[in-house]
Amino acid sequence: MQTNLRGRDLISLQEWTKEEIDTILDVAFQLKRERALGIPHPLLRDRVLAMLFFFSSTRTRASFEAGMAQLGGHAQFIESRTTQISHGDTAKEIGEILGRYNDGIAIRNVDWGVGNGYIRDVAAASRVPVLNMQCDLYHPHQSLADLMTILEKKGSPKGLTIDISWAYAASYQKPISVPVDLSLLTSRYGMHVRLVHPPEFRLPTDVVDQAAENARRSGGSFEVMDDFDAGMRGADIVYAKSWGALLTATDEADGKAIADRYTDWITDERRLALAAGDAIYMHPLPADRGVEVADAVIDGPHSVVYDEAENRLHAQKAVMALTMG
């Protein structure tokens, strides 16, 4: 267990060692048990977390805000469009100033080609930890909650097969950060990772290369596939969600036109039956019901989406307690 994480930024889990990630998970399970037992843990009493949102949120805002309250601190909600950020506050100014007012800064900015760079610019100017609540490339706290859920439901992840698949959704061109981060994290734990998507929905080459190297080092495997059904076959974990053709399409309309070629990529009962008999279905939510996933699957006995959502709270509390304490 690592005890030197105070003051660390969490922007990408690739920048943390496996031992450090294991420490987060250990603390997350401890805090989850204590909450279940009604044991208070005001580890961040009088601490304040600035939560800066450039993109709307349900679970992210609610879980970070609740988590800070349960740790004895306060979460300060800041919306970019209703502050001077929309009128000229720079990333350096945000880092310098919010870093002096607060004990941590959490940011959600998923603008393609912008978000990760913005968060890193804030971190470079901040004297307090900067936490990535989701950017255009990474969603580390979601991935931590996902891995925590896999550990709870399946035990050791080593040797398990996870199907990280694209699925059709009509709502909007969703960020690629969930499949990117999940591919990078699960490949570090000896899992057999299948990244499944139509050709137009590829992930950045450097991400695919890093995931393959992670798998080589951990004794797992990493395979890129383009057959939705084949990706499901025999999988222990089915994690099928939509993301945008951001490396292919030039705008939202082009992306939608490409996605509309693959409307049959829906996780329904027939597809899920191709997976292992005790497979679990995962999704970060919100899901496009009846389009991305059938109600019978997301509400069915294989679904663990609500436990997965709950684990956002516990994983994030662990990160905040370790970095802001």
Position 89, amino acid: D
**Under 8 Å CB-to-CB from 39, ≥6 apart: which residues?**
none
171: pLDDT strictly greater than 90: no
Q: Which of 63, 293, 35, 6 is nearest to 171 (CA)?
A: 293
Cα 23 to Cα 2: distance, rounded to the nearest angstrom: 6
Q: Which residue has the tokens 């931590």?
A: 144
Listed by start position, the domains of the chain span 13-139+311-324, 141-308
Per-residue confidence (pLDDT) for residue 85, from 0 to 100: 87
- Give, for 239, the enclosing helix (H) or strand (E): strand 237-241
pLDDT top residue among 207 and 56: 207
Q: Average pLDDT over the chain, rounded to whole?
A: 97
Per-residue confidence (pLDDT) for residue 86, from 0 to 100: 81
- Among 39-53, 150-164, 249-263, which stretch is predicted with the lowest mean pLDDT? 249-263
232: pLDDT strictly greater than 90: yes
Q: Which residue has the tokens 């929905």?
A: 201
172: pLDDT strictly greater than 80: no
Q: Do domains 13-139+311-324 and 141-308 have the same CATH topology?
A: yes
Is the CB of residue 96 less than 8 Å from the CB of residue 122? no
Q: State phi, psi for 249 to the nearest 5 degrees.
A: -85, 150
Per-residue confidence (pLDDT) for residue 278, from 0 to 100: 98
Q: State phi, psi for 168 to the nearest 5 degrees.
A: -75, 140
Q: Kind of pairing, strands 192-196 and 48-53?
A: unpaired
pLDDT tens string 86-107: 888 999 999 999 999 999 999 9
- Average pLDDT of span 209-234: 98
Architecture of domain 141-308: 3-Layer(aba) Sandwich (3.40)
CATH entry, 13-139+311-324, from 3.40.50.720, 3.40.50.970, 3.40.50.1370, 3.60.70.12? 3.40.50.1370
Beta bridge partner(s), residue 78:
52
**Under 8 Å CB-to-CB from 40, ≥6 apart: which residues?**
34, 72
Is the CB of residue 167 less than 8 Å from the CB of residue 175? no
Tell me the chain's radius of gyration from C-alpha atoms. Answer: 19
